[in-house]
A and B are shown apart, each in its own frame.
Chain A
């Protein structure tokens, strides 16, 4: 019986339990709803939850733990001699798994019976050929010992599945009868349902948290690998970025950090004033009709994929800047430049700044404006002296959010600023950022264990720390803002 079918059975039993529970609750009061503690549906729900939830949890735990236990057992049975030179336990194990899968497929096509499989012997039969029939291609001829392991593995799996099915069905039925037996008119079924909702909500937020933790762990783990191969001093204190895939590379982070900060700085220089002024216009001056047209129009900018911005930078902005500014001034001859990427990224960030600032300015109570107008202030005096100071922390939060977007942006930089790691003050020179280098270090045919590849994780972690710090600052400022009035 497959896992999917088992899942369906559990759900079906639980659904049946819903109907039974509902009916039982109604029967317990002879159909007089008023004497029930909760609505009949809640009794059904409580049965459904107590039937399905424990069974599904058992199943989940089983499926998580089973492979670990079984594979450990299988590994212990593989003779060290079966592991060929240049191979490893994990490769042999994956061969075992694929052979077991192939045997299952053969049985499914009914070209083999269970008895045939037990009799199969890698020495006398062309196992490789038979398995190739069902699409399982093996690299070399099958080692008889490994084949025996695969047969054993397959049997263990079948047994384990059988036990799991039995256990899960038992838990399901136990839950069903237990919860049905609890139904009485004064049973607080709606509270059970309420607790189940809370558990679901907590579990959902837990998933988000655990994902973050998992990402950080994997970054930290790989970064640690990197620093075993490459000295931290060379990474943090060198100003040369020059990866050589033959080895002996210089992997100093500073040119990348500089490029990242430079591009982000220019992007913020463009987006913050424009976005903020647009937000002030929209929130304070624009009529309803203008606002209804302009606000969505600005927000469309946020919906454009960044690769499209990148193309815009590559084809339009870059050559324009080169031909009309950099070349005549004699300060650059490349169409890829920090300025190009910064400008285009700034345009991309305008809606972030303006939309958030607009919301924040709108959140300033009307009574503040009334108070200021009532004292004879003009509109711009009111904006400058009352609205902006009151909204400032929120606006700072918006800017920091835009800044973390800028730091993490990749496509625009690849197409706009180039891929040359450089430390220079000239904004018309090509530079590159951390994100771009992460992509270029991880793409291509390099060995995964080399420092040139692993450096991507160290870069990623650095970037993560950067944006995390910015977000923490943003959150702190926003929280402070909430305490501002009232």
Chain B
């Protein structure tokens, strides 16, 4: 538990002594973690261990929760994201997020993807916006399925398509970090396979952090894994090592299904 994270090359995100409180409840304790860029990092751990809470600290989504307080230091590209000068709204354009349940807006597929670029003024002309929408849908591996019905409502897609639409929506603002909070928990195995494949491809361009309850998923898509338990990071390291030869007893027990 006292073991420090392994030195990591080109860390995108550095967290030091992060504490999160929900009112009186101390939800995250002394989390230290470095997350390398252009890779997939998985957060695993039993329910209520604080992995989603920590994930939401990384784009300051916890700011929207009343009574939530974050202490410590979280840096992205060496810049403290909880600094007074940082605008959380700008930060979230840079750190995109995909949620547990697909949550497309009740708008057309096109408008769903164009939402981010529009509010941030990322494009100057309609043609540019069209281009961004198409690119994002391509990257989310959804373009071929929806190119003929961009004006149809996003809520009319299947669950897996909706989740990929949400990924496309997040990609459209050109984020550097992509946070995924159990993105496949509401999907069937086929849709899960598609999204996992997509995550593997996204690694080439983005720093992806994924919270998952599925050990297999963590093993399949991630390069590094962090094990959370009772609000602390029990162990963190390369995924191969975590799954074959973990240092911590609790990691071993959790991965082999003895608790959690």
Contact = CB atoms under 8 A, between A and B. Distances in A.
Interface string A131-175: 000000000000000000000000000000000000000000000
A2 interface: no
Contact of B119 (A287, A370, A385, A484): A385
A376 B119 contact: yes
Contact of A367 (B90, B96, B99): B99
Contacts of A369: 64
Interface residues of A, number: 23
B37 interface: no
A377 B155 contact: no
B107 interface: yes
Given A287-B66, A288-B66, A367-B99, A372 B105 contact: yes
B143 interface: no
Contact of A375 (B64, B66, B101, B116): B116
Contacts of A370: 61, 64, 97, 99, 103
Contacts of A371: 99, 103-105, 166, 169
A367 B104 CA distance: 9
Interface in B64-116: 64, 66, 89-94, 96-97, 99, 101, 103-107, 115-116
Contacts of B106: 368, 389-390, 484-485
Interface in B115-145: 115-116, 119-120
Contacts of B173: 375-376
A375 B169 contact: yes
Interface in A372-418: 372-378, 381, 385-386, 389-390
A390 to B, nearest CB: 5
B89 A377 contact: yes
A297 to B, nearest CB: 21
B115 A372 contact: yes
Given A365-B103, A385-B115, A378 B96 contact: no
B44 interface: no
A378 B99 CA distance: 18
A293 B17 CA distance: 39
A375 B103 contact: no
B170 interface: yes
Contacts of B207: none
A376 B61 contact: no
Interface string A109-132: 000000000000000000000000
A374 B115 contact: no
A214 to B, nearest CB: 41
User: Sorted from nearest, which 4 A-B pairs have the closest CB atoms?
Assistant: A376-B93, A374-B97, A367-B103, A376-B92
25 contacts: A287-B66, A368-B103, A368-B105, A368-B106, A370-B64, A370-B97, A370-B99, A371-B105, A372-B105, A373-B61, A374-B61, A375-B92, A375-B96, A375-B116, A375-B170, A376-B89, A376-B94, A376-B116, A376-B173, A377-B119, A385-B115, A386-B105, A389-B105, A389-B107, A485-B106
Interface of A: 287-288, 365, 367-378, 381, 385-386, 389-390, 484-486
